[in-house]
């Protein structure tokens, strides 16, 4: 059995010398190296920005969605959307563990796990698309995937439904980062508050800001506004188009008495929302872009263009203990768990 690089560079086909994520194409041969894990894939949870783009390109037609997805994987060896640059994550059962990893990892063949690294770097083979769940960005497939030695994962908990765990783990970084960023008394704005990551962020924002803080949700439609309101975690939920920077700023100004947000979390799945986040935030405040639809060029130049001195953080999908933090929300907050169960199970 061949020895592999912990970071998966042995799988890169083009351009040579890159890591698997930025590479255009990787080797998705399912004959594993000595430090890889082979997974029989059950469900792909496609990144929200990516699925939205694919669905729009397909005109909502499920057959066309399947063709686009299988085409991406056939061309690139991974589900790395060439338009959005994003992927998603997966759940499945362990089929095989490379001998170099067998003693390092407390894993067994047959265990069900969720990968916590992006599909944009994961060698993947799709044999059949069984069912597409357009409402929750999840796709049931027959196929296999490879997890590198450096790849992080979570063994799926037995006390939560699989589809629920998958939905939570897909955006685990958002809530965990919110827990790190928000301080007691902060005014926090969550843009995309009615979505999957936004709802989890609401919980952590309320928990960390406390009774002296203020949590403001921003949602684009009445349905998502009501969903955010039903959590009981918001002081107010504003209905606004996240791409309307001045409109968002004016509503946040009014809600905060003109002080704006100390922390703004951007969880939307559409482009052109960078300046809404910047203008909603006070000078010296923090903007956290969890959204994979973010243009970091637009954010940097946009802040410069409007003369805003804000600290902008790239939405790292990983932070220490993010899986445990986010799954615990489902145990800690029965109202939020009921919302997620209604949406994802």
CB 126 within 8 A of CB 76: no
Instruction: List the one residue out of 97, 160, 151 whose CA is nearest residue 327.
Output: 160
Percent of the chain whose predicted confidence (pLDDT) is above 90: 84
The stretch 98-127 carries a mean pLDDT of: 92
Tokens of 51: 């699925």
pLDDT in the model for residue 166 = 86
pLDDT in the model for residue 19 = 97
Instruction: List the one residue out of 73, 153, 147 whose CA is nearest residue 318.
Output: 153
Integer Rg of the chain from CA: 20
The stretch 17-23 carries a mean pLDDT of: 96
Count CB atoms within 10 A of the CB of residue 300. Answer: 13
Percent of the chain whose predicted confidence (pLDDT) is above 70: 100
Cα distance between residue 111 and residue 208, in whole Å: 35
- The pTM for the full model equals 0.82
Instruction: Say yes or no to pLDDT of 52 above 80.
Output: yes
CA atoms within 13 A on the CB side of 239: 8
pLDDT in the model for residue 163 = 85
CB 262 within 8 A of CB 285: yes
Cα distance between residue 345 and residue 333, in whole Å: 17
Instruction: List the one residue out of 40, 145, 43 whose CA is nearest residue 93.
Output: 40
Q: Which domains does the chain have, with CATH numbers?
A: 9-156 (no CATH), 172-344 (3.40.50.720)
* CA 78 to chain CA centroid, nearest Å: 17
Cα distance between residue 237 and residue 206, in whole Å: 13
Count CB atoms within 10 A of the CB of residue 159. Answer: 8
pLDDT tens digits, residue range 241-295?
999 999 999 999 999 999 999 999 999 988 999 999 999 999 999 999 998 788 9
pLDDT tens digits, residue range 56-90?
999 999 999 999 999 999 999 999 999 999 999 99
């Amino acid at each position: 059995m061949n020895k592999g690089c912990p970071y998966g560079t042995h799988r890169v086909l083009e351009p040579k010398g890159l890591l698997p994520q930025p590479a255009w194409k990787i080797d998705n041969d399912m004959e594993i190296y000595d430090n890889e894990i082979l997974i029989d894939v059950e469900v792909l949870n496609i990144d929200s920005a990516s699925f939205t783009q694919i669905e729009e390109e397909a005109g909502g037609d499920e057959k066309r969605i399947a063709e686009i997805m299988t085409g991406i994987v056939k061309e690139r060896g991974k589900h790395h959307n060439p338009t959005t640059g994003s992927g998603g994550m997966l759940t499945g059962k362990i089929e095989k563990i490379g001998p170099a990893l067998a003693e390092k990892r407390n894993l067994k063949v047959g265990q069900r796990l969720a990968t916590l690294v992006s599909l944009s770097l994961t060698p993947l083979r799709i044999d059949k698309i069984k069912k597409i769940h357009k409402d929750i960005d999840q796709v049931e497939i027959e196929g296999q995937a490879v997890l590198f030695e450096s790849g992080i994962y979570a063994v799926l908990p037995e006390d939560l439904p699989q589809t629920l765990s998958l939905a939570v783990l897909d955006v685990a970084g958002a809530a965990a980062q919110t827990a790190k960023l928000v301080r007691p008394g902060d005014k926090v704005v969550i843009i995309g508050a009615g979505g999957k990551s936004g709802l989890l962020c609401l919980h952590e924002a309320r928990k960390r800001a406390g009774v002296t803080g203020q949590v403001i949700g921003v949602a684009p439609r009445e349905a998502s506004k009501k969903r955010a309101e039903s959590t009981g975690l918001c002081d107010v939920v504003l209905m606004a188009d996240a791409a309307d920077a001045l409109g968002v700023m004016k509503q946040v100004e009014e809600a905060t008495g003109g002080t704006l947000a100390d922390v703004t979390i951007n969880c939307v799945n559409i482009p052109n929302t960078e300046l809404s986040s910047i203008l909603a935030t006070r000078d010296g405040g923090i903007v956290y872009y969890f959204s994979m639809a973010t243009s970091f060029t637009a954010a940097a130049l946009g802040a410069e263009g409007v003369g805003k001195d804000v600290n902008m953080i790239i939405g790292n999908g990983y932070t220490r203990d993010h899986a445990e933090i986010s799954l615990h929300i489902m145990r800690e907050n029965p109202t939020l768990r009921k919302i997620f169960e209604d949406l994802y199970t």
